[in-house]
Chains A and B, each alone.
Chain A
């Protein structure tokens, strides 16, 4: 032991050290306890949350699109079904060398310049597991070529899927609509991962859109274990998809296709009703697009061609086209007159027109004495001016509404138009003007303010034919009892008698008698003025777009009506000339298919083939007019020559007194 202050100091120092060392040790143990506590918190209190996070790291859920439900016709013939589709996608997170893989794929498939650019753009905006489409609708050979080279193509995923198929193509386009990939907005709305699953398509228009909930089905799912870099370790569980439901329509696919083909190059529509049930047997609007092509997305060129076409292939004219019904409205006027007590046997003398004050309303002929029967048959305007003015517009409007005009129907299709059934209150509301006698005269012959859709025209024919307040049916669901029409049966019989005379007696459509023994068709022609200017041509010539529309309503057989139809041919000059022959063939098809097909094949030879053939020719011709396409380059020289020739020809036709620019 060493003594002195030094000792005391050293002893103090030693005890200071011991105190502080113990304090330090205590602090260290405290930190140890804190760490143990923190770990307990993480592993026990928050275990559930972290276990879930770990699980969602480990397991990746991939959806497989459900097979879409079929759309079939009344006999079970598919109108929309699915065909096996081989496709190739890229999983971005598994892609090691994008440039090399894309170059390989471009060589194997092969892909065009435009496609490669699209894939690169998609890859840039895509992240992680969300596959990017490389190509769809591949042939088995292309699919196999990629599949066998998979080891050299990391990140490429070939899959077998289904794509939508419409066997009747353009003939059903306006009915079925089409399917396509969901838009970004639709995904933002629901955040449903199915919407961004490659190969999944939703209904974009028509029945496909409206029946989406029925047709969609439930997606299959595959749970896989993946690494952080997206490498698949193993499959955990797979759930098969639940296909969408099959929807049966009242449509007769054969009739639908026939009617579409029979319309030929015209712009028009055909609607056929079953008068016993209200079933819609056909609803055609032509020209149309090919819905098969639409489901993969169409090129800008195709879109340009469709949207610039003055025959409006993108519009469903049967529901959305509105036309002045012209003389096809006369049955409504006749029923209004009968309802108001006009004697159908009373004669009205037609001297070629009707004088209202100092205005003369013209008739197409000098028919002489006319009763209701002959007035319908010969489509005498003077008679209907007279009785129409007698009963007044409100009675006419009421009769028209009973026949189904001016209303919308419960159809699983996206849009319909009411049209206009004008009356005094309507004009007051719409134009804040008094209804005039002149308005009544115009309305009585289906001109003026009256606007109807081809669908409503067909329905009016079906109601006249059946005497029942038929409700249009497009889905083959349970039938409802159909109430009688609030019109006296004998009045309907008079109108039907007149319509029989139109086709089978001394009427306007005698050229369109059914070529079938014992089956007569009743009908009514109509010609709708496109512009009011009554020039020298009276809408019977000149520019296509200024020509009159041709309309026709009909039913058959006359004595026991079974079918009713309307045909509208845009700018077809007249109902008897353009529409009635189509109606004749369509109704013939219902009774005698071979005979109808024979007639059709004659026409199609004239027109240059069936619908797909003509559409392809048209697409090539259009492409040739567009700068920057190969077709255009090829056609460039010939075009200059053709233009010069066309100019000469145009001069010649002007000299002959008819208008230039007639293309059809």
Chain B
């Protein structure tokens, strides 16, 4: 079925999922307003460059939406392989230079392979379960390759060390496994295993600063001027905003530098201080709509790869938003996950735009197929 062609709008434009694009532009536009305020009412140094980036990556997403899903399915494994190699390279570079390294300098861009791994792991597992015979899905041996596929990048990223990204890769992979139909008891068992593994990991795997952050998260007031300072000041910013906020450009926590990272990881707190609960509900609501749309794209898709990929990608966006918001509201430790589309920075924006582009591609496929959305 073809989309109705209007006389004024050219067909390719009219075919775009405008409602979703509008939602994304709303969130991104609001983010730019927040960055404008965070710079003390100036488009420099953040709002302008972020706007350029936002436009570019939105274009990328629209571009990605024009590619057929079959291409993505075919490209999943090779992409995964390339990214894995890059992760190892990053690891080696870090070892040579000393200290931790997360990116590769390609000259024109600083490529962060772990970021790209977030959508890639979803596509890879979706591809894996799409070609796996359905009967095998519920059998234990099929878990081994899936586990290896998730485990390799997870371990590589964790050793960078990047706790937040590592966890998101694992969550993304596990989500696809869950959606693919891996028996529930395994997740229950896995949760039990986690209960045992987390304290062990806490003591033997995590770095001192990571352990410290978690301890501080559990009791922020124990170190109000150290790591707990971030959480305390963020809660003060959000709490002092009240219902309607202190008003645009009037946030004292962000403008007087009490709120650290007010334009990156804690951009939500900067926003909440000036726009209050109303602004917060707007952001949370908009994201929930976006994520819900993504999951529904999966539900409405006909191919197994498309279904798993769509729901998985939507959940990747969800993890970004949920982890970041829980962090700024003091419900999770500070793990360095930005709020996509709002926080200043390119990596998360790029990842989320790739997710959106893929989702739109699947959505486009659905609309062509009978019974589409």
Residues of A within 8 A of B (CB): 6, 9-10, 12-14, 16-18, 20-22, 24-25, 28-29, 31-32, 35-36, 38-40, 42-44, 46-47, 49-51, 53-55, 57-58, 225-229, 233
| Least CB separation from A39: chain B residue | B280
Known contacts A25-B292, A36-B284, A46-B239, then 10 further A-B pairs from the complex at CB < 8 Å, ordered by chain A residue? A17-B181, A21-B311, A24-B178, A24-B311, A28-B291, A36-B280, A38-B329, A47-B239, A49-B239, A54-B236
Interface segment among B199-207, B253-261, B348-356: the answer is: B253-261
- CB contact under 8 A between A29 and B179, given known A35-B326, A43-B272, A233-B256: no
Question: At the interface with chain A, which of B28-36, B56-64, B143-151, B240-248?
Answer: B240-248
* Contacts A16-B181, A24-B311, A44-B277; A50 near B240 (Cβ below 8 A): yes
The reply to whether A51 and B326 form a contact with Cβ atoms under 8 Å apart is no
Q: Check B240 against A53 for contact (C-beta < 8 Å).
A: yes
A35-B181 in contact (CB<8A): no
Is B121 close to A, CB under 8 A? no
B284 touching A32 by the CB < 8 A rule? Answer: yes
Interface residues in B90-106 (C-beta closer than 8 Å to A)? none
B325 at the interface (CB under 8 A from A): yes
Q: Are B287 and A32 in contact (CB under 8 A)?
A: yes
Residue B112 lies at the interface, judged by CB distance under 8 Å to chain A: no
A9 CA / B135 CA spacing, docked (Å): 7
Partner of B281, one of A16, A36, A46, A229: A36
Given A20-B178, A24-B311, A42-B239 in contact, is the A13-B252 Cβ separation under 8 Å? no
The docked-state distance in angstroms from the alpha carbon of A65 to that of B310 is 68
Indicate if the CB atoms of A25 and B295 lie closer than 8 Å.
yes
Q: Are B295 and A24 in contact (CB under 8 A)?
A: yes
- Closest A residue to B310 using CB positions: A21
* Nearest-Cβ distance from residue B280 to partner chain A, whole angstroms: 5
Min C-beta distance of B207 to chain A, whole Å: 27
Please, how many angstroms separate the alpha-carbon atoms of A44 and B280 in the complex? 12
Q: Across the interface, do B307 and A28 meet the contact criterion of CB distance under 8 Å?
A: no
Contacts A42-B235, A42-B238; A54 near B252 (Cβ below 8 A): yes
The answer on a CB contact under 8 Å between B295 and A28 is: yes
**Which of B242, B315, B318, B325 is A44 in contact with, Cβ under 8 Å?**
B242
In angstroms, Cα B235 to Cα A43, docked, is 9
Complex Cα gap A58–B238 (Å): 15
Cβ-defined contact, A24 with B175, below 8 A: yes
**Shortest beta-carbon distance from B371 to chain A in Å:** 13
Any A CB within 8 A of the CB of B237: yes
13 pairs of residues in contact across A and B, judged by CB atoms under 8 Å: A17-B311, A21-B299, A25-B295, A31-B322, A35-B326, A39-B272, A40-B277, A43-B241, A43-B272, A43-B280, A44-B242, A53-B240, A54-B253
Assess the A21–B236 pair: CB atoms within 8 A: no
The interface bits of chain B over 302-331 (1 if a CB of A lies within 8 angstroms of the residue's CB, else 0) are 001001100100010010001001100101
Q: Give 6 nearest A-B pairs by CB, closest first.
A: A50-B239, A54-B240, A228-B257, A58-B252, A42-B239, A32-B288
Interchain CB contact under 8 A, B181 and A42: no
Question: B interface, by DSSP: helix, strand, loop or mixed?
Answer: helix
Nearest A residue to B317 by beta-carbon distance? A28
Q: Which residues of B contact A43 (CB under 8 A)?
A: 238-239, 241-243, 272, 276-277, 280
Q: How many A-B residue pairs have CB under 8 A?
A: 140
Residues of B within 8 A of A (CB-CB), count: 50
CA distance A13 to B235 in the complex (A): 44
A22 engages B256 (CB within 8 Å): no
B210 at the interface (CB under 8 A from A): no
**Closest chain B residue to A5 by CB distance?**
B135
For A16, what are the chain B residues with a Cβ–Cβ distance below 8 Å?
181
Closest residue of A by beta carbon distance from B291: A28
Query: With A9-B134, A24-B178, A50-B239 given, is the CB distance from A39 to B284 under 8 Å?
Result: yes
Q: By CB atoms of chain A within 10 A, which of B253, B287, B296 has the most?
A: B253
Chain A residue at minimum C-beta to C-beta distance from B326: A35
What is the CA–CA distance of A50 and B241 in the complex, to the nearest angstrom? 8
Residues of A near B273 (CB, < 8 A) are: 54
B residues near A35, Cβ cutoff 8 Å: 284, 322, 325-326, 329, 331
**Measured CA separation A32–B322 after assembly (Å):** 7
Q: Do B277 and A39 touch (CB < 8 A)?
A: yes
| B257 surroundings in chain A (CB, below 8 A) | 227-229
Q: For the complex formed, measure the closest distance between the CB of A146 and the CB atoms of chain B, giving whole angstroms.
A: 28
**A424-B243 Cα distance, complex, nearest whole Å:** 85
Q: Contact check: which of B181, B256, B318, B326 meets A58 at CB < 8 Å?
A: B256
CA distance A12 to B238 in the complex (A): 46
Is B180 positioned at the interface, with any CB of A under 8 Å from its CB?
yes
Contact A228 B258 (CB under 8 A): yes
B134→A13 contact, CB < 8 A: yes
Chain B neighbourhood of A36, CB < 8 A: 280-281, 284
- Least CB distance from B163 to A in Å reads 20
Residues of A within 8 A of B239 (CB): 42-43, 46-47, 49-51, 53-54
Q: Is B256 in contact with A227, judged by CB distance below 8 angstroms?
A: yes
Interface pair A226/B137, CB less than 8 Å apart: no
Least Cβ–Cβ distance between B292 and chain A, in angstroms: 6
B173 at the interface (CB under 8 A from A): no
A132 to chain B, nearest CB (A): 20
**Chain A residues with CB under 8 A of B238:** 39, 42-43, 50
A17 and B179 form a contact (CB under 8 A)? yes
Q: Assess whether B298 is interfacial by the CB under 8 Å rule.
A: yes
Q: How far is the CB of B110 from chain A (nearest CB, A)?
A: 29
Interface residues as binary, B167-195 with A (CB distance below 8 Å gives 1, 0 otherwise):
00000000100111100000000000000
Chain A minimum-CB-distance residue to B287: A32
B237 to A54, Cβ gap below 8 A?
Answer: yes
Given A13-B134, A36-B284, A229-B257: A20 touches B242 (CB 8 Å cut-off): no
- List A contacts of B295 (CB < 8 A): 21, 24-25, 28
Q: Shortest CB–CB separation between residue A130 and chain B, in angstroms?
A: 16
Residues of B within 8 A of A55 (CB): 240
> In whole angstroms, what is the CA distance A3 to B233 when docked?
62
Beta-carbon nearest neighbor of B234 in chain A: A42
A47 closest partner in B (C-beta): B242
A47 CA / B246 CA spacing, docked (Å): 12
A551 → chain B closest CB, angstroms? 65
Complex Cα–Cα for A604 and B308 (A): 108
Tell me if B256 and A57 are in contact (CB < 8 A): yes
Q: Which of B241, B253, B277, B307 contacts A17 (CB 8 A)?
A: B307
